[in-house]
Amino acid sequence: MSDQKFDLDQIRAVIRLLSESDDIAELEVESPTLKVSVKKVAGALRATATAGNPGTEAPTQTLHMTVPAPQPTAPVPAAAVDHLTPISAPMVGTFFRAPNPDAPPFVSEGDVVEPGQTVCIIEAMKLFNEIQSEMRGRVVRVLVENAAPVEFGQPLFLIDPTVTDR
C-alpha cells in the first residue's frame, strides 16, 4: 500500500457538493494524489476514492462508501423568516447535534431553548466546543446535517424569539 492517506475533508467536500446539487448526478474530481468519484443512486450517494497517483502503476488505496442522501427540508416561507433569528457557527469545524452518537440531539425542531442552553457541539482541531443559545425561543429549523462541516458565521438553527410558552 502507498504511504498516501485519504484526505477525508476533500472527500466530504465533494460529497457535500453533489448532495446539495439538484442538477448534478455524477461528479469526479482528480488531483495528483487523490481521485474521487461520487454518483447519486437510489436515494444515496456512492463514493469511490483512490489515493496515490491515479495515472501510474504505483500502489494505491481505494475507499468505497455509500452515504444516505440528505432528506430535503421544506423551505421556510419568506414572510415567516423575517422575525426568525439564526444561531450561527462561531468557528469552523464539524457540527454535531448530540454529545455522542447514541445520545438524543441537544435540541430538535419545535423545542424551546433558553439562554445558555447547549444546542450543539462544534468539533475543531480535536476540541469539542459546546454552542449555547443566546436567546429564548422555539427552534423552527435545524439548518445543518449531523457531522457536517460548518464555516464561521454559517447559520445552524433558526429560532423564533417571539415564543413565550414552553
* Residue 58 forms part of a structural domain: yes
Number of domains, the chain: 2
Q: Are residues 32 and 84 in the same domain?
A: no
pLDDT tops 70 at residue 78: no
* Residue 47 forms part of a structural domain: yes
- 137, with CB counted inside 10 A (0-12, 13-18, 19+), is buried
pLDDT tops 90 at residue 10: no
Q: Are residues 88 and 53 in the same domain?
A: no
The larger pLDDT score, comparing residue 54 to residue 149, is at: 149
Q: Are residues 109 and 129 in the same domain?
A: yes
**pLDDT per residue as tens digits for the range 107-143:** 999 999 999 999 999 999 889 999 999 999 999 999 9
The larger pLDDT score, comparing residue 87 to residue 165, is at: 87
pLDDT tops 50 at residue 6: yes
Q: Are residues 61 and 92 in the same domain?
A: no
**Contact of 116 with 142, CB cutoff 8 Å:** no
What is the model's pLDDT at position 115?
95
**pLDDT per residue as tens digits for the range 19-76:** 666 666 777 777 766 677 777 665 556 666 666 655 555 555 555 455 454 444 455 4
Q: Report angle CA 131, 134, 135 to the nearest 5 degrees.
A: 130
CATH of the domain at 101: 2.40.50.100
Q: Are residues 50 and 18 in the same domain?
A: yes
What is the model's pLDDT at position 75?
53
* Residue 73 forms part of a structural domain: no
Q: Are residues 82 and 64 in the same domain?
A: no
Residue 26: give the domain boundaries.
Answer: 8-68
